[in-house]
Structure 1
Amino acid sequence: MRTVDPAKHQARRRHILGAAATLFAEKGYERTTTAELCKAAGMSAGALFHYFPNKRAIFLAVLEDDGDGKAERLARARSADDPWQALLDLVDFLAAPAAEPLVPQLVMEAMVQAYRDADIEALLSRGNAEERATIEALLAKAAAAGRIDPGLEPGPTATWVLALIASLYTSAATTPDFDPAEQLSTLRLILRRFLRAQARPGDASPASARGAD
């Protein structure tokens, strides 16, 4: 009986997902063919489908991939001692991939496919719900600690925080001269002023946030 090496199997899957993510971002899900996936991954169709049953399964796996450790980062943020700093760090973490090549296009393609596929829509909704719940919890803790405006309701405020993060991805995908990396400091400044973090000894004031970031 042939023994499967789990590490090699996982490495092969990740190789396929990396090649597929590039194609899906550049060509779109519908226009990417199985032959192109095989060529990009450097394997036959039989070998490719040993790891994934079909193209749709590959696309779902690309979207589910937690190679950046998002689940762990969300858990760490929820348990942080300083909810305000944890919120700023989490925003940086969620926004940073917008500056990576092809990621904004892949995000846009996922949104398009979500209108056509209930499983993709459910996957994206689940991910958004986890992010939103964490941000809401951090906002509530930060308000209770006097770090942000206590008059802001966590739910609607979390919606706006996520909308600002999402705008980096959509702008990067649709505006050729938009540089998400350059705009990240502006996003931080907007959030600091919107949330009106109250200064404590050692904290940067909103007025000096641009320099601090």
Structure 2
Amino acid sequence: MRKVDPKRQEAQRRRILEAAVTCFVRRGFHQTKTAEICAEAGMSPGNVFHYFPNKDAIIEAIVEEDRRETADLFAKLRDADDILEEMLRALDMLLEVVADPATTRLGVEVMAEAMRNPRVGALVRRNEIEAKALLVETLGRAAARGQVDATLDLENAAVWLMALVDGAFSRAALEPSFKPEEQAPMLRTLVTRFLQPAKSPSRRKRR
């Protein structure tokens, strides 16, 4: 019996996903034909269908990949000595990602597909719910260490931090003059002022 090589399978799967992303960025989900993905990957339809039965399965795999990347990010934040500073670094890296037109286009395609396709929509909503829960937990850890304002409503704080991230993607997609990496200092200022613990007012010295 022929043995399955997990590493080779994962490499082949990754190759198909990367080819699909290239095609989706170029033509969008609905304009892209499965044959184009096969050609981009340099694989036969039978080989591609062995890993993904249809184009929807490829889109769902892209959403799942985003879920794993988000979980890895929060695992890194959880282990950081200074969680707030690590969050700021993560936002710097996020803006570098947003600066890539291909990534922004793919993000827009995923959100549009989530509105049209109930299964993709359910997966995207699951990702958002999980990401919010991880962010609330991370903020709670930081607050317990005195690194984040413990008086904040952490649920609502997480909502608005996620809205900032969504807004960066939308702005990059809609405004050609928007340069995400140039906005890193302003985003750091906004988030720092929002999250950092309030300083106790200094007492006046008695004369």
Same fold? TM cut 0.5: yes
Number of equivalenced pairs: 199
**In the alignment, which residue of structure 1 is the partner of 2:40?**
40
Contact 2:168–2:180 (CA<8 Å) still a contact in 1? yes
Worse-superposed segment, 103-112 or 181-190:
181-190
* Higher alpha-carbon Rg: 2
Matches of 1:120 and 1:104, distance apart in 2: 18
Q: Which ranges of structure 2 fall in alignment gaps of 5 or more residues?
A: 200-207
Report the CA distance between 1:141 and its aligned residue.
3.2
**In the alignment, which residue of structure 2 is the partner of 1:31?**
31
**In the alignment, which residue of structure 2 is the partner of 1:56?**
56
Q: Does the residue aligned with 2:35 lie in a helix, a strand or coil? A: helix
Worse-superposed segment, 190-199 or 21-30:
190-199
Contact 1:87–1:139 (CA<8 Å) still a contact in 2? no
User: Is 1:97 aligned to 2:118, yes or no?
Assistant: no
> Does the C-alpha gap of structure 1 residues 96 and 136 become closer, same or farther in structure 2, counting only changes over 3 Å?
farther
Identity over the aligned pairs, expressed in percent? Answer: 41
**In the alignment, which residue of structure 1 is the partner of 2:20?**
20
Matches of 1:184 and 1:115, distance apart in 2: 30
Q: Does the residue aligned with 1:102 lie in a helix, a strand or coil? A: helix
State the superposition RMSD in angstroms: 2.3
**In the alignment, which residue of structure 1 is the partner of 2:122?**
122
TM-score normalised by L of structure 2: 0.84
Q: Which has the higher contact order (CA 8 A, sep 6+)?
A: 2
For 1:7, give the aligned amino acid.
Answer: K
**In the alignment, which residue of structure 2 is the partner of 1:161?**
161
1:45-100 residue CA offsets vs partner (Å, 9 max, x unmatched):
12211221011111111221259843222123234343323432443455542123
Q: 4+ residue stretches of structure 1 with deviation over 6 A? A: none
**In the alignment, which residue of structure 2 is the partner of 1:71?**
71
Q: Does the residue aligned with 2:152 lie in a helix, a strand or coil? A: coil
**In the alignment, which residue of structure 2 is the partner of 1:203?**
none
For 2:4, give the aligned amino acid.
Answer: V
Report the CA distance between 1:6 and its aligned residue.
1.9
